[in-house]
Amino acid sequence: MTASATPPAIPAAPQPPVTVRVFLQRFSSTPRGARLARHLALHQLHSWGVPHGTETSETAAVLVAELAANAVTHGLVPGRDFELRLALEPGKLIVDVSDPRGECRPPRPGEMRASAERPGEGEGGRGLVLVAALADRWSVLDRVPVGKTVRAELDLPAR
């Protein structure tokens, strides 16, 4: 009689823990609120190990500044704030800026007007051209219960 042998269990390779860090803050829909959002984003990134002055920090600062300025300028609903959300995930940084105005939506990626891409033509749209150039991915999302979120993602260099 032969006993059926089961192979010994192979221990799984240790996996590094997945840590997602999130910062969420509302700001007044004013130029001062947009500046404060940029400053606090840089401070938060620095506390997460993305030092001031690095390429990632500088790029994130421009993304937050442009998206916050757009929220203040185009997403303004009197008496309502805009919201900044940063998420540091393994391999990427997500910057979300939400405002309460859903009917005034920016063009989606790939839909930008040609005039926005040529400096000196048209009054607006150049900020999103900058976002499209700096972000690895960006999108416009519906915000529940009302409004929109513009998301920009940066791929992080391997540590």
Q: What is the dihedral of CA 41, 67, 61, 134, to 10 degrees?
A: 140
Domain count within the chain: 1
- Dump pLDDT digits (tens) for 33-59: 999 999 999 999 999 999 999 999 999
Amino acid in position 49:
G
**In a domain? residue 137:** yes
Range list of H helices, 8-152: 31-47, 55-74, 114-117, 126-134
pLDDT at 101: 81
Nearest to 147 by CA among 108, 106, 119: 106
pLDDT at 120: 42
Supply the DSSP symbol for 33. Answer: H
**In a domain? residue 28:** yes
**In a domain? residue 147:** yes
**In a domain? residue 66:** yes
Q: What is the dihedral of CA 52, 97, 152, 90, to 10 degrees?
A: 60
Share of the chain above pLDDT 70, in %: 74
Domain hosting 130: range is 21-155
**In a domain? residue 105:** yes
> Half-sphere exposure of residue 150, counting CA atoms within 13 Å on the CB side?
28
Per the CB < 8 A criterion, the answer to whether 85 and 24 are in contact is yes
Per the CB < 8 A criterion, the answer to whether 148 and 140 are in contact is yes
**In a domain? residue 2:** no
Nearest to 69 by CA among 26, 109, 38, 113: 38
Per the CB < 8 A criterion, the answer to whether 154 and 92 are in contact is yes
**In a domain? residue 13:** no
- Dump pLDDT digits (tens) for 43-102: 999 999 999 999 999 999 999 999 999 999 887 777 789 999 999 999 999 999 999 887
